[in-house]
Amino acid sequence: MDRFIELGQLLDWYGAFLTERQRSLVRQYAYEDCSLGEIAEREDISRQAVRDAIKKAEAELRDMEDKLALIATNEKQRRLLGQLGETRLDERQKDLLRQLEELVSEEDDGV
């Protein structure tokens, strides 16, 4: 997976656990595709400070995913629901499957 996409996904799921400053820097880097220099200029800090802050935030986000595995679990649930949807189901089972898919879809909003 592309590093920026992965970082954005981590931010979506666990960003609430970062400081506002960390979220802002990572958002600019991952979502707005700003270079470290551009962010440094915007924030009036050094490029190295931006790099260090983003690296630290990324490490924290990855650590949370390593411990909680919310993203991995969600992806597995989606895969299993997709497989289940390919099987023959009666109407009640189809309704239950739709409800489960809605729940998993709501989880995509993250924490």
Provide the mean pLDDT of the chain: 91
pLDDT band at 105 (very low <50, low <70, confident <90, very high): confident
**What's the pLDDT score for residue 1?**
64
Virtual torsion, Cα 57, 108, 71, 91, nearest 10 deg: 180
Q: What percent of the chain has pLDDT over 90?
A: 64
Rounded Cα distance between 107 and 50, Å, is 30
Average pLDDT of the residues in 3-29: 95
Domain boundaries along the sequence of the chain: 3-67, 71-107
Whole-structure pTM over 0.85, yes or no? no
**What's the pLDDT score for residue 3?**
87
Class of the domain covering 3-67: mainly alpha
DSSP H helical segments within 15-111, as ranges? 20-30, 36-43, 47-68, 70-85, 91-107
**What's the pLDDT score for residue 109?**
57
Q: What is the pLDDT of residues 24-70, one digit of tens each?
A: 999 999 999 999 999 999 999 999 999 999 999 999 999 999 999 99
